[in-house]
Each structure stands twice: as structure tokens, then as C-alpha cells.
A and B are shown apart, each in its own frame.
Chain A
Amino acid sequence: MKLTNLNELQMPSWHWLNINDTELNLTADIGVAYLNKAECRNSSEIKLQPQADGEPIEALPADMQRMREFIAAHQNYSLTITIPQHVRLEQPVFLDFILDDMSPVLIDQLHIRAEKGSQADIVVTYRAAGNAVCFHGGFAYLEAAPDARVRLFKIQMLGSNDIHLDTTAVTAAEGGRGDVLTCELGGAQVISSCNIALAGAASSSNLDSLYLGSGRRRLDLNYRLEVRGTSSDGEIVVKGALSGSAKKTLKSTLDFISGASGARGREVETVLTLSDRVINLSAPLLLCGEDNVEGEHATTTGRPDEAKLYYLMSRGFSEKEAKRLLVEASFTPLLNKIPSDSLRGDILTKIQEVVHDEQ
């Protein structure tokens, strides 16, 4: 099966850049059940329903809508999580998926409803075990009702031969906040997208993304922040490290819609390159149909700072250790947001693998 027109750039550019969209040759048998039990921890105060509804999502870009339809047609796991009105969870909710020889295919649809005034952290992890080549396809929809505050963490740690095709959509109503943090740490081919609609007045969101590219990994990331509500505020922060012959394509769009008076938005991308064979493509779009806004974008790419490397090496660290420390330092502001010590530890281990093994 060939999936085309994935991760479309919201406003296309020169075709020779090969950045306008992407495609996926899917060889996995997607008609199989997911037999493993997805473990949901700390769920006593929330409602769980073993299905996700298909209600329309306003202003979802066409490529993500197609992804949603594909996932809905082939899903082998679905779940709706509802955080009731004014419930504030003290502990994060964890939803852990494992793909293995028994269940090498997971196609999940998640719907997270944060009702008015609620507050929660939801952590979803995707891991692989065994020898099978695994495929994960997923669609998650996060609805932040007025004054709700939700953080969704999606941590992907699949194997080096696996495929990860993932989309997240967020809608934030008046005063609502829907943050997303994605970590793309594994997989041979990663096609990941996230659309955040700041629909209500004074709504807000941070979209954070952290990725590691190593070996011959191919990452295609498409992030969009649609700023519609007056005085809304959003930020896209992407930090990555590339080594080996990895290729990363990042499309990030900050879209101010006419009427979003008083809104603010920022995009920041930082890429550390650890090998001279990496391919690093970026298309950070800044689209504006409203005059009373403040929007800005900044991208920096390059090797770890040589002065810092030299300093660390003069203190007794090897070059690889020094580089690992600098990658970790770059990632730390995002890593610190993850509400789990063990997960942070797993991510740090992954960083170590990349920096040590793939240069």
C-alpha cells in the first residue's frame, strides 16, 4: 500500500526542494489485531471508553484529515479519555503500548477530552520488543475546553527498522491550554504531524518536539500552529540531533488567521549535526492575515559549539562524552517537562546511543 500526499506543506514551494509532501510504502499487514494489553496507569479519576468518536475537527488540514480517515478505517485500538470538569489530576496518566512479534502492528485512535477547568498530564509511550518489523499508525485528538490545561506527551521509542506514522490534533477553546510534547527517538521511517488550533480567545499552547536521527533514519515532521483566537499565544520549539546518514525534514507553520488580534506566536528550531553525511531540510513558514499580531521564527543549525566542546574536553571528557553532554544540554529544557524520571532516563540512554554509536 502506498500512502501519498502525507505531511503536506501548508503553502507549497518549489518542487525541486522535495519538501511539499511525502509518501510511505507500507508493506505491513495492517488487517491484524493488536493483541497486547495497553496499560493505562493512574486512571482512577478519569473516564475511559474503548472507542474514539469521529466527530469533525474544525480546521484540520486536508492531509491530516486523510490520515484520520485512514487510521479510523484500519484501527485496531481506540480509546476516549475524558477528564471531568474541574478535576485536576495530581499524577500523570500513562498509556503504554508495546509492539512485538505477537502484535507488530498498532493502529490507534485516541480522543482526549479535557472538560472545562480540568487539568491533566497524559503520557503515551510506543515501544518495540522482539525481532519483528513493527508498524505504528496513530491519530490522537486533544480537546481542551475553556480553562482546561492539558499536556499530552507522546514518546516514540520504536526499533531501528520500524515505521511510525503519527498525527496529533489539538483544539483549545477560550482560555484553554493544550500542550503537546513529542519525542521521536526510534523508527526507520518517521512521519509525524501535529496541528494545534488556538480557536478560543486567550487560548494557548506549546508544541515541543525533540528528535534523534541516527543511522539511515528518515524523519518527516510537519507541525502547524493555527492562531485564530484573540490574544492567543503559541509556540513551536523543535530541538534535534542528527548523526550517521540520517535525514530530517521539518515543516513548521505558524498561521495567524485574520481576526486573531493581539495574538503572539513563535517558532524556534535548533539542530545539532554530528556527522557530515546527514541531510537536514527545514521549511519554517510564517503566514499572516492579521496586522495586530507578533510572530517570529528562528532557526539555527550546525555542529556543537567548538568552544564549549574544547572546554569540556579540557575538563577530562572525551570528545564523544562532551558531544553527548552538549546534546543533552540542548534537550534539557524540553526533557524537564516530561513528568517521569524513568522516561527521562530512557531518553538520555537513547541520546547516549546515538552520540556514541552513530558518528
Chain B
Amino acid sequence: MRKKTQIGEIERSIYDIKDSSHASYQVAKGLTEEIVREISAGKHEPAWMLDLRLKSLEIFKNMDLPSWGPSLAELDMDQIVTYVKPEARMTDDWQELPEDIRNTFDRLGIPKAEQKSLSGVGAQYDSEVVYHSMQAELEAQGVIYTDMETALRDYEDIVKAHFMKLLLPREHKFMALHGAVWSGGSFVYVPAGVEVAMPLQSYFRLNAPGAGQFEHTLIICEKGSRLHFIEGCSAPRYNVLNLHAGGVELYVGEDAVLRYSTIENWSKNMLNLNSKRASVEKNGAIEWISGTFGSHITMLYPSSVLKGEYARSEYIGVSFASAGQFLDTGAKVIHAAPHTSSTMSSKSISKDGGNTTTRTSVTVHPKAKKSKSSVICEALMMDRSSRSDTIPAMDIRNDEVDIGHEAKIGRISEESIFYLMSRGLSEEEAKALIVRGFVEPVTKELPLEYAVEMNRLIGLELEGTIG
């Protein structure tokens, strides 16, 4: 009897360790105007931010859950705690953090990565950022990297001009929710012409059971600047639902290049309903690198608005779903100017009843003449109890375009195994090579340490033959 290719579960032991630390303060379960006012008052926010929160709350109350995508019927907002303040104050010294919080980030390898390969690090624990640090030389060049609350206090004009201007609360229910209860997140400002050599990384850790995390990341790259920003997220597993509805707004100036990498490994009790959008000016570029491994349900589609001539976007994503997971991921791009270009490359693996959906959209406006777009979706099915769906859409409104879409679905081909074996590899080596090669477009775009981490996450264990 032929055996199937086996791909192991993602090794989660590091991520599943729960901290004993208690919150210093948290709001009551549910979502009310009082809770929203309480969060805002606790942060001593300006009136306009409270106003934005309250308007978002109204929109949230009046909007239905999405009628497309995986069912979110199990989400009961009355059981979610939207703000949990950890027993820690923000610092730039890991040693000043409470021991168990420090140990958590140690286990996740954040301080080590900071020393070896990062220009700066932000670490959020539940609803607040507890650590933020950046190399002094970047500060001297005018780079700002801080938590959102500090940015709102110290750079209010910049924040006010950009905050939730790309992610509009009325767009969908969870963007409205984010607008109402956002907390934490990172603010990055890169001045014109500054190239940040090593990446900045923000890590978001949700420890409290039944809680939501709603961090807001706002990045502004001025003309000719360059930045690689890495976002990591994880949480231990609980028997109650946790909710993540973060928001990411990226402003990419003329000739600027921003790479935004995400390795997401939420626990399987998490609803990950994140929103990300970039606006790209003339000759600018946004590069999305996305690895989605955890969560019970993910709905995540980074969106790029190509506003300036010759602006470009690139999306490379991989998702890996096993039992009980519904990973609905993909990307959106809007070509709003001439000569803009976009590529989307999506890879998904489903096993043991896991469900992956790749959802993409390409919109080309009438004035976006001579634009180009290429979308490639590839899905690997490991067994028939799993599911893999591809749902692309293209809305093309001028004729001077070059648009292509390709999708493929199937299992590992026996011909590929045979070819590699004819070149001297064992069957096991051949299969390992093919599966690693399948996700390689993502890993090769990450810094070495993160590529290793991602390969470890996938935890491929291959045995037997194809069949």
C-alpha cells in the first residue's frame, strides 16, 4: 500500500508557553461606549482621537459580519476583553521588564535578533508596547521608531494627518472595531533619502485568554528612503477565542522602497482579522512578504494603492493550514496611475482537514494606462480531507494593460520526484527538496535568521512515498 507524503504539524511548544503574569488593569468584557471612552481616557488622548474611536464604534455597531469568507459566527464580542494593560512600563532595557515577560521574548529570540540583525525592536505584550529601542545612529539621521501612543503625543500633527486615512472605519466591521479600540503598535518615520540598512522589527505577543489585540502600525517612508520592517506575532493556546484586529498603514513616498514582512504564528484559538494597506507614490515600491501559519481563522489581504506613475507592488505569501484552520489570505492591488506594475505570488499548503483560500483582486483604473499585473497562485493539497480554494478577481478598465493570472492546484508530482531521484537524490531528499522549494519564494526574501525560523516553523517531516 502506498503511503502519503507526511508533513508534520508546526512545532509550537515555544509559542504555547503561557505567562503567569497578571494584567495591571483591564477593561470589562464586551464593547460599549464606556469602554471606548475608558481606553481613550487612560491614554490621555486628544479629543479628535476619541471622536474617531466613537464614530468607529457607531459604524461597528451598525455593520454586519462579512457574508463572504469563513464563518465568524462563533465570535461573541461580549466575551472579548478589548484592552489588557500588562504589569510593565515601556522601556528600552530588556532587564527592566518583569521576568516572565522578558523570558517570553527571550524564548521567541527577539533580544538575540536585535543584537545580530536588527536596527530596532518594538515588543508589544497584550495591549501595550513594553519595549522599544533603536540604534542611535538612525535616530541621528532623523528616523523615528516608537510606539503609537508616544507618537500620538510627540508627533500629533503627523499622526493626525495619516491615522486611519488609508484604513477607513466604514470599509468593514473589523476596521471599525480597530478604530474604536486600537492600542499599541508602532510608528516609523524615515526621512527623505535615508536608507535603513538593517530591518526594524515589531513583535506582538498576546498572552491574556479571551482578549483582543488591536495594535496600529503607521509607517511613513519619505522620498527616496528605504526600509525593511518585520512584524511577528504569536500567542499561547487557550480554550476560549482570542481576537486580533490590527491595522497597518504604510505611506511609501516617491522613489521610496518599503518591504513589510510578516511571520504570523497565532495559536489555533485566534481569530486573526487584520487589515493592511499601503499607498505608493511615483516610482515607489511596496513589497509584502507574508507567512501565515497559525490562527483558527485568518482573513488577511494586504492592499496596495499605486497612486504615482511607475509605482509598483509585490506580494509573496505562503500559508499552511492543518486541522481546524481556515486561512483566507491573499492580496489586493489598485492601479490608479499609468505605468504601474504589480505581482502577486501565493503558495498554500493544506493538510489534515486544513482549509486554505487565496483571495486576490486586481483593479486597474481607466487612467492607469500601460500598467502590468501578474498573479500566480499555487496550492499543494496533502490529503482529500483538506480544502484549497482560489478566488481571484480582476476589474480592468482600460485596454492598454498587460494582465495575467495563473493558478495551479494539485499534489506533489511523481514526475518531479522521479526526475530528482534520477539525479541521485533519495526519495526522502527529493520530497523534502520539492516541498521546501515550494515555499522558497518566501524564505529567500527574508533575512537569514527569519528564513531559518520559518523553515523551523514549517517543521517538515517527510516519510514514505507519494500517493
Please pick, from B366, B381, B385, B390, the residue contacting A285 in the complex, using a CB distance under 8 A: B390
A292 contact set on B, CB distance < 8 A: 384, 411
What per-residue 1/0 map shows which CB atoms of A270-304 lie under 8 Å from chain B?
Answer: 00011111111111111111111111111111110
A12 contact set on B, CB distance < 8 A: 67-68
Please pick, from A279, A285, A293, the residue contacting B391 in the complex, using a CB distance under 8 A: A285
* Cβ B384 vs Cβ A289 within 8 A: yes
Cβ-based interface call for B361 (8 A)? yes
Known contacts A11-B391, A12-B67, A258-B384; is-contact A302 B410 (Cβ 8 Å) = no
How long is the Cα–Cα vector from A293 to B80 in the complex, in angstroms?
Answer: 42
What per-residue 1/0 map shows which CB atoms of B362-403 lie under 8 Å from chain A?
Answer: 000010010000000101011111111111111111111111
* Cβ A291 vs Cβ B405 within 8 A: no
Cβ-based interface call for A259 (8 A)? yes
How long is the Cα–Cα vector from A72 to B444 in the complex, in angstroms?
Answer: 58
Cβ-based interface call for B409 (8 A)? yes
Chain A nearest CB from B277 CB (Å) reads: 14
Chain A residue nearest to B390 (CB atoms) is A286
* Cβ B389 vs Cβ A288 within 8 A: yes
* Cβ A13 vs Cβ B390 within 8 A: no
| 9-residue interface stretch from A14-22, A61-69, A97-105, A159-167 | A14-22
B379 contact set on A, CB distance < 8 A: 286, 288
Chain B nearest CB from A267 CB (Å) reads: 8
Cβ-based interface call for B77 (8 A)? no
How long is the Cα–Cα vector from A19 to B360 in the complex, in angstroms?
Answer: 13
Chain B nearest CB from A124 CB (Å) reads: 31
A283 contact set on B, CB distance < 8 A: 391-394
A302 contact set on B, CB distance < 8 A: 399, 401-403
* Cβ B399 vs Cβ A291 within 8 A: no
B382 contact set on A, CB distance < 8 A: 291
What per-residue 1/0 map shows which CB atoms of A175-196 lie under 8 Å from chain B?
Answer: 0000000000000000000000
Chain B nearest CB from A231 CB (Å) reads: 15
Interface size class of B (residues with CB under 8 A): 35 or more
* Cβ B409 vs Cβ A274 within 8 A: no
Chain A nearest CB from B21 CB (Å) reads: 40
A299 contact set on B, CB distance < 8 A: 394, 403-406
Chain B nearest CB from A210 CB (Å) reads: 19
Chain B nearest CB from A276 CB (Å) reads: 5
Cβ-based interface call for B433 (8 A)? no
A298 contact set on B, CB distance < 8 A: 404-407
B398 contact set on A, CB distance < 8 A: 273, 276
How long is the Cα–Cα vector from A290 to B382 in the complex, in angstroms?
Answer: 9
* Cβ A303 vs Cβ B387 within 8 A: no
A279 contact set on B, CB distance < 8 A: 395-397
Known contacts A259-B384, A298-B406; is-contact A273 B399 (Cβ 8 Å) = yes
How long is the Cα–Cα vector from A17 to B392 in the complex, in angstroms?
Answer: 11
User: Which A residues lie at the B interface, using CB under 8 A?
Assistant: 11-15, 17, 19-20, 256, 258-259, 261, 273-303
> Could you jot down 18 A-B contacts, CB within 8 Å?
A13-B361, A15-B68, A256-B409, A274-B399, A282-B392, A282-B394, A284-B405, A289-B387, A290-B381, A291-B381, A291-B382, A291-B410, A292-B411, A294-B409, A294-B410, A295-B410, A298-B407, A299-B404
Instruction: Given contact pairs A279-B397, A299-B404, enumerate 15 new A-B contacts (beta carbons under 8 Å).
Output: A12-B67, A15-B68, A276-B366, A280-B394, A281-B395, A283-B391, A283-B393, A283-B394, A284-B407, A286-B390, A289-B387, A290-B381, A291-B384, A298-B405, A299-B406
* 7 nearest A-B pairs in the assembled complex, by CB-CB distance: A273-B399, A291-B381, A12-B68, A299-B405, A286-B390, A297-B407, A280-B396
